[in-house]
């Protein structure tokens, strides 16, 4: 009996380890995405002082505000009164304050603080202050008041509205589609023909050419961009075509995507039943008929897998677009447009989170539409290489 229980025990432990490993991998991938999503609904001040994991709890913030200056006070009951507010009411709650940032708990909100000149300063919980003095104020610059405030969790759509309402963002969406759709269809079409030839046609140098194609997978994109652009400009100048245009970026993405596409599709087509191909040849079908009527319908999983990969890569691309396209309104793509929205010094860095989710809406739709083919096509296209 024990000999039968031990394998079952090992099997259950093995399945448990597999499930735990999968759970860990899912958690590692989901947590950053969850943090990015939560951060996209927070304002810049909250993003700067606390992490996304504190978004649902009230947090403490150390900050300072400046009072009004001389000339802004009013005369009330024989005293000069200067009033104002450090922030909008309801956004924070003052706990304590002081003019010395090393002793922030010296005065509670609403408790008067005596200044060096004998005047009284009072900072209320809602951020409003009242400064009373027997003499006219003389300071030309606002007095700094340090405070500790409680910040409640707040969420808004301001980051999304800022991105979506930016000038030219709609045109950049259209431009990205103009780049992505041809740059996905063209390499798939060429790679499908090439993969069939490598898998089922016999010609001199077939294995050598396939090895060369596989070798191109390791060529760094960054090292080949500029030589490719110079070559394209020289050809364009010879034919009288301007340098930066959509055909240029289509050809660039086609060239960079072809090695992987040919590799995946060739390996997948090589796993198709040989009997089907031979039966079609006996019936008198030529290679083109076999390819279009048999191989392509049977290769839908692999074609869908590469469609997802190529679409995601081209849609999220920034580097190739900067090199092969201009920044005019009729050419700038979404990633480049969002980069410009950040400002030259990254002043609007808080919109990065919302921009990320706006830009991935279309890729998510493509992925979920084709995901049932994704794993099947990748596995079949990467296991068999002969």
Kindly state the DSSP code that residue 157 receives in the 8-state scheme.
Answer: S
For the chain, what's the residue count? 386
**Least confidently predicted of 60-69, 250-259, 371-380:** 371-380
Answer yes or no: is pLDDT of 377 > 60: no
Q: What is the DSSP letter of 89?
A: B
Contact 380, 270 (CB under 8 A): no
Alpha carbon distance 2, 182 (integer Å): 63
Band (pLDDT 50/70/90 cuts) for residue 386 is very low
How does residue 246 score in pLDDT terms, banded at 50, 70 and 90? confident
Does 321 score more than 70 pLDDT?
A: yes
Q: Please spell the DSSP secondary structure of 291-333, one letter per residue.
A: IIIIIHHHTHHHHHHHHHHHHHHHHT--HHHHHHS-SSTTT--
Environment class of residue 167 by beta-carbon count within 10 Å: exposed (0-12), middle (13-18) or buried (19+)? exposed
Residue 144 above 80 pLDDT? yes
Cβ neighbors of 44 (< 8 A, separation 6 or more) are 349, 350
Name the most confidently modeled range: 130-134, 149-153, 372-376, 381-385.
130-134
Q: How many CB atoms lie within 10 A of CB 334?
A: 26
Conformation bin of residue 132: beta by default, left when phi > 0, alpha when psi is -120 to 50: beta
Q: Which of 64-73, 282-291, 307-316, 377-386 has the lowest mean pLDDT?
A: 377-386
Q: How wide is the angle at C-alpha 204 spanned by C-alphas 203 and 206, nearest 5°? A: 75
Beta carbons within 8 Å of 385's beta carbon, 6+ residues apart? 267
Nearest CA among 383, 360, 348 for reference residue 47: 348
All domains in the chain, ordered by first residue: 59-155 (no CATH), 161-383 (1.10.3720.10)
Tell me the pLDDT of the chain averaged across its residues.
84
Q: For residue 4, is pLDDT > 70?
A: no
Do 147 and 63 meet the contact criterion of CB atoms below 8 Å apart?
yes
Q: What pLDDT was estimated at residue 310?
A: 92
């Amino acid at each position: 009996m024990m000999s039968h229980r031990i394998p079952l025990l090992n099997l259950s432990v093995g399945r448990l380890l597999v499930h735990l490993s999968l759970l860990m991998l899912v958690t590692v991938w989901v947590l950053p995405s969850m943090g990015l999503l939560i951060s996209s609904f927070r304002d810049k001040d909250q993003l700067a002082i606390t992490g996304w994991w504190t978004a649902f709890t009230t947090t403490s913030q150390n900050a300072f505000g400046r009072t009004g200056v001389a000339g802004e006070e009013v005369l009330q009951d024989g005293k000069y009164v200067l009033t104002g507010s450090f922030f909008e009411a309801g956004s924070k709650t003052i706990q304590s304050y002081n003019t010395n940032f090393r002793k922030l708990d010296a005065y509670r909100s609403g408790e008067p603080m005596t200044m060096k000149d004998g005047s009284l300063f009072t900072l209320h919980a809602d951020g409003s202050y009242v400064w009373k003095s027997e003499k006219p104020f003389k300071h030309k610059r606002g007095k700094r008041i340090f405070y500790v405030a409680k910040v409640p969790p707040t969420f808004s759509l301001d980051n999304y509205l800022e991105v979506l309402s930016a000038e030219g963002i709609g045109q950049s969406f259209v431009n990205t589609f103009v780049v992505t759709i041809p740059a996905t269809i063209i390499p798939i079409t060429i790679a499908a023909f090439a993969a069939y030839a490598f898998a089922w046609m016999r010609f001199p140098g077939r294995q050598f050419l396939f090895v060369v194609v596989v070798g191109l997978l390791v060529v760094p994109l960054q090292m080949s961009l500029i030589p490719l652009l110079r070559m394209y400009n020289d050809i364009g100048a010879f034919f009288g075509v301007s340098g930066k245009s959509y055909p240029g970026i289509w050809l660039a993405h086609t060239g960079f995507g072809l090695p992987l596409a040919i590799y995946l599709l060739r390996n997948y087509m090589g796993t198709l039943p040989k009997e089907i191909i031979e039966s079609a040849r006996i019936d008198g079908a030529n290679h083109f008929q076999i390819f279009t009527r048999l191989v392509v319908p049977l290769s839908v999983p692999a074609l869908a897998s590469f469609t997802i990969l190529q679409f995601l890569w081209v849609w999220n691309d920034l580097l190739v677009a900067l090199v092969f396209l201009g920044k005019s309104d009729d050419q700038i793509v979404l990633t480049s447009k969002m980069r410009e929205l950040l400002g030259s010094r990254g002043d609007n860095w808080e919109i990065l989170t919302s921009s990320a989710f706006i830009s991935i809406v279309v890729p998510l739709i493509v992925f979920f539409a084709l995901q049932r083919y994704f794993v099947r096509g990748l596995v079949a296209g990467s296991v068999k290489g002969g």
